[in-house]
Amino acid sequence: KKEDYPISVQFDFNTGVFEPQEKSVERKVSDMVKMFHDKTAVESMIKAGDPLVYEIFYYGFKTSASDMALGTTRIQPGKVGDEYYMTKGHFHEAFDQPEIYFCVKGEGYLLMETREGEFQAEKWTPGTISHIPPMWAHRVVNTGKEPLVFVATYHLAAGHTYTEVEEKGFLKCLVEKDGKATFVLNDKR
Ligand code: PAN
Ligand code: ZN
């Protein structure tokens, strides 16, 4: 079968795009209404054109015996109110599924949290590779002035669940205070 033969894609470190790819997905402010804490800023940004927050480029590398998904993400620089652009964030549906994230461009933080309330943030610069263990929700925040690009690998069997993060957020948010990225406690908690 064709899918059981090796295949390579060509990745651009600057743009985060690779070719060939199976699909790409765009997330705008309107796709993340519940995630950002300043609802007034959310509404006015949507009215003012609903800017792009991040894109995902994807290839599943499905064979007849396995899969190993590749997803690259490019988060634009920017803020909604004082809160930096970020990914939605999710738990994996399957309780035994980890993931590897590899930051190749930009700067920011990987936020991770368990359902028991343990929270950990990893500072990211180009070259940081993080292992996300099973059962840790994960979100990436771009605190820099250029796009943040990272590469992810995971099994399709992981599945994604967004509702818990949508309702509760992460323990801490990253906002700009006096020109600096600052952690503040999430006011939903
Ligand atoms: C990543 C993410 C990607 C976008 O491929 O899906 O960075 O973030 P959200 O899915 O939270 O919108 C991944 O973690 N896959 O499991
Ligand atoms: Zn994931």
- Structure confidence by residue, pLDDT tens digits, 79-115: 999 999 999 999 999 999 999 999 999 999 999 999 9
User: For the chain, how many structural domains are there in total?
Assistant: 1
Q: How far apart are the first and last CA of the chain?
A: 51
> Can you say whether residue 61 is alpha, beta or left, with left for phi > 0 and alpha for psi between -120 and 50 degrees?
left
Cα angle 113-119-122, degrees, rounded to a multiple of 5: 95
Q: What is the mean pLDDT of the chain?
A: 97
Beta strands in the chain (DSSP E): 10-11, 18-19, 23-28, 52-59, 69-75, 79-80, 83-84, 91-92, 99-105, 108-114, 119-124, 129-132, 136-142, 148-154, 160-161, 172-177, 180-185
* Separation between Cα atoms, residue 102 and residue 98, nearest integer Å: 14
Residue 73 tokens, joined: 């993400």
- Structure confidence by residue, pLDDT tens digits, 129-148: 999 999 999 999 999 999 99
Mean pLDDT of 9-36: 97
| Dist. CA 87 → ligand 1 center (Å) | 7
Residue 8 tokens, joined: 């390579």
Total count of residues recorded for the chain:
189
Closest approach atom of ligand 1 to CA 152: 5
80: domain CATH number? Answer: 2.60.120.10
ipTM of the complex: 0.99
- Structure confidence by residue, pLDDT tens digits, 139-189: 999 999 999 999 999 999 999 999 999 999 999 999 999 999 999 999 888
Its domain, for residue 39, covers 2-185
The pLDDT of residue 126 is: 98
Which candidate, 21, 108, 7, places its Cα nearest to that of 56?
21
| Dist. CA 175 → ligand 2 center (Å) | 23
What number of other Cβ atoms are within 10 A of residue 136's Cβ? 19
- Structure confidence by residue, pLDDT tens digits, 28-60: 999 999 999 999 999 999 999 999 999 999 999
Query: Which residues, in sequence order, are CB contacts of 71 under 8 Å at separation 6+?
Result: 56, 57, 58, 151, 152, 153, 154
Whole-prediction pTM value? Answer: 0.97
Q: Which protein residues are within 6 Å of ligand 1, measured from CB?
A: 56, 71, 73, 87-90, 99, 138, 152, 154, 158, 160
* Separation between Cα atoms, residue 107 and residue 145, nearest integer Å: 8
- Helix (H/G/I), strand (E/B), else coil: 48: coil
| Dist. CA 94 → ligand 2 center (Å) | 11
- Helix (H/G/I), strand (E/B), else coil: 40: helix
